[in-house]
Amino acid sequence: MFIQTQSTPNPQSLMFYPGKPVMEVGSSDFPNARTAMTSPLAKALFAIDGVTRVFFGSDFVTVTKSEETSWDYLKPEIFAAIMDFYSSGQSLFLDSSTAASMDTAIHEDDSEIVAMIKELLETRIRPAVQDDGGDIEYRGFDPETGVVKLKMQGACSGCPSSSVTLKSGIENMLMHYVPEVKGVEQELDGDEEAELTGQLE
């Protein structure tokens, strides 16, 4: 098995291509070891000292490390964990229902605006963000303020350029195609808010 790597805009994140499909549908983000319990591969990667986040895309795994750990130390460990997982024949998730990303599935009760936002995210924005080793999750639209709430995942979540990507690329595209959209905001989970606050202090 030959695993290729590719850098991302975030120097602390690296994409690993195992040469086999990773996620059949959608993507999955593991911002900490607690969330990785549903996946044997994510769990094995978090067992490596210095790994802070794991993300599964269609044909790649993005691993994010702490600043003080070097890729020279981590790469062989990550290669070994990915190879062991694929040779073990285990499934990626212990429970298949946790796999697909359902956030952009269009529901009957969605308004026309929400349906358009989801369609754009799925067809235009998600593929571009996935090229950078991450993904984006739709968290809601407030028709009163015109604000779309999104969550950045994988390499994009802690990336210095993620707020730029969110504001310029994604916001501009949504506002261009859906005039009701007045802005885009990034939504953080509790753990990440604490992490960012810690970085700012």
Task: Evaluate the CA torsion angle 6, 11, 12, 13 in order and state its sign.
Answer: negative
Q: How confident is the model at residue 78 (pLDDT cuts 50, 70, 90)?
A: very high
How high is the mean pLDDT of the chain? 83
Q: The pTM is what?
A: 0.59
pLDDT tens profile 148-186: 988 877 766 666 666 566 667 888 889 998 999 999 888
Question: Token match 């979540």: residue?
Answer: 157
134 φ, ψ (degrees, to nearest 5): -135, -160
Other beta carbons within 10 angstroms of residue 175's beta carbon come to 16
What mean pLDDT comes out for the span 72-87? 95
- Angle 159-75-3 from CA coordinates, rounded to 5°: 100
More confident position, 81 or 35: 81
Q: Name the segment(s) of the chain with CATH classification 3.30.300.130.
A: 112-200
More confident position, 66 or 187: 66
What mean pLDDT comes out for the span 122-140? 80
Question: What pLDDT score does 196 carry?
Answer: 47
Other beta carbons within 10 angstroms of residue 23's beta carbon come to 20
Q: Name the segment(s) of the chain with CATH classification 3.30.1370.70.
A: 4-98
The yes-or-no verdict on residue 99 having pLDDT over 50 is: no
> What architecture does CATH give domain 4-98?
2-Layer Sandwich (3.30)
- Angle 129-58-100 from CA coordinates, rounded to 5°: 95
Instruction: Give the fold, CATH level 3, of 112-200.
Output: GMP Synthetase; Chain A, domain 3 (3.30.300)
Any residues with CB less than 8 A from the CB of 197 and at least 6 apart, and which? Answer: none
Question: What pLDDT score does 41 carry?
Answer: 95
The yes-or-no verdict on residue 75 having pLDDT over 90 is: yes
Secondary structure (3-state) at 103: coil
